[in-house]
Amino acid sequence: MSADDINNFRQIITSNGYRLTRAREATFRLLVSSEPQSVAKILAKAKGTVDRVSVYRNLELFEKLGIVHRVYIGWKHKIELSDDFVKHHHHLSCLGCGKIIDIEDESHIDEFIEHVAARADFAPRRHIFEVDGYCHDCKPTKTTR
Amino acid sequence: MSADDINNFRQIITSNGYRLTRAREATFRLLVSSEPQSVAKILAKAKGTVDRVSVYRNLELFEKLGIVHRVYIGWKHKIELSDDFVKHHHHLSCLGCGKIIDIEDESHIDEFIEHVAARADFAPRRHIFEVDGYCHDCKPTKTTR
DNA sequence: TGTTTATTGCAACAGAATTGCAATATAACG
DNA sequence: CGTTATATTGCAATTCTGTTGCAATAAACA
Ligand SMILES: [Mn+2]
Ligand SMILES: [Mn+2]
Ligand SMILES: [Zn+2]
Ligand SMILES: [Zn+2]
């Protein structure tokens, strides 16, 4: 989380006619970790600083303004900083240890989406793509012992 | 929903040592519509016929037995008949009218997953892939008027 | 038809998210 | 600056979704 990110955040909030508040900025700072976080975790971090309700309301606002977006990992959704803050991408998530590996290569998916969308005369806007499985350390196939 | 589907269903239930009950079969029949349905919708349909709790418990069982699986559409999960009933696939879902178009072509995604997984020494198990956007009839780009 | 026990339905509970509203803090203006 | 209008907050109460315990019920099977 750079100073630039904070300025960028302030810019988005104010330029859209919303007020720059303590609760708002505190909530934004909780999203630092580049890894996607569950709402529960964010609420836990916010405890004592920002009220639950305000966290919910601001996450909703952030989503509307494109500051964050949801990703699905392990069949639960998590919140992740988006676009200007962290480039859109996908994940390999380990069912064993919970590790989350970023998938850098977006172009293949975009191509594929273009392909199927064209055939159905469909104009794509967003997509979800997440993979579950086992990481190097957790591969159950490995007969280490 | 053919008679075969019902027989197939009964076969799966009994051969796994579970009992074929009124509530169980009624719940299965609620899944008829080949389109994925929200749990809320299924519960609404079940109202007065099968208790909420039994619906939950049986959907869980169906999932365990591979009779249904979850898909993510519009950032909410829905229940869809699976595998023997409907082959694994993905969707284009329209933000305008709610229409859901099946994506037949699974091989491209599988290839892509193999590719990224190999690079990370990751053993993939499941994946989510869903696209939102606008269908032919709802394309906002069209300047019809 | 009787016995066994898996399954159901109900009620009570738990946790996540939402809503109403008065108190407060921000932004804008004189 | 100090004042004002109102967006935003925090708290309480509520709703919603899913879960758990348990006695009544009904499948399965002899
Ligand atoms: Mn990521
Ligand atoms: Mn489908
Ligand atoms: Zn792992
Ligand atoms: Zn449409």
Q: What is the pLDDT of residue A142?
A: 45
A125 against A27, higher pLDDT? A27
Mean pLDDT of B32-50: 87
Task: Output DSSP code: residue B33.
Answer: S
> What is the amino acid identity at position B72?
Y
CB contact set of A84 (below 8 Å; sequence gap of 6+) = A8, A12, A66, A67
Q: Please report the pLDDT score of residue B25 as a whole number.
A: 97
The answer to whether B27 and B50 have CB atoms below 8 angstroms apart is yes
Q: Is residue A120 less than 8 Å (CB to CB) from chain B? A: yes
Asked if B1-85 and B87-145 have one fold, the answer is: no
| Burial of A8 per CB tally in 10 Å (0-12, 13-18, 19+) | middle
Residue B75 contacts strand C, CB under 7 A: no
The dotted CATH code for B87-145 is 3.30.1490.190
Mean pLDDT value of segment A115-127 = 90
Domain formed by A1-85, architecture? Orthogonal Bundle (1.10)
Range scoring the smallest mean pLDDT among A98-102, B70-74, B87-91, B112-116: B70-74
Answer yes or no: is pLDDT of B84 > 60. Answer: no
Q: Is the pLDDT of residue A37 over 70?
A: yes
The pLDDT-based confidence of B27 (bands split at 50, 70, 90) is very high
B53, closest nucleotide (Cα–C1'): C9
Chain A contact set for B117 (CB, 8 A) = 92, 131, 133
Q: Is B142 on the interface with A (CB under 8 A)?
A: no
DSSP state of A85: S
Q: For A39-62, what is each residue's pLDDT tens digit?
A: 899 999 999 999 999 999 999 999
Most confident range, picked from B1-5, B71-75, B140-144: B1-5
Question: Does pLDDT of A22 surpass 90?
Answer: yes
Q: Which residues contact B81 (CB under 8 A, 6 or more apart)?
A: B31, B34, B67, B68
pLDDT at residue A145, rounded to an integer: 44
pTM here? 0.71
**Are residues A129 and B72 in contact, defined by beta-carbon separation less than 8 angstroms?**
no
Domain residue spans of chain B: 1-85, 87-145
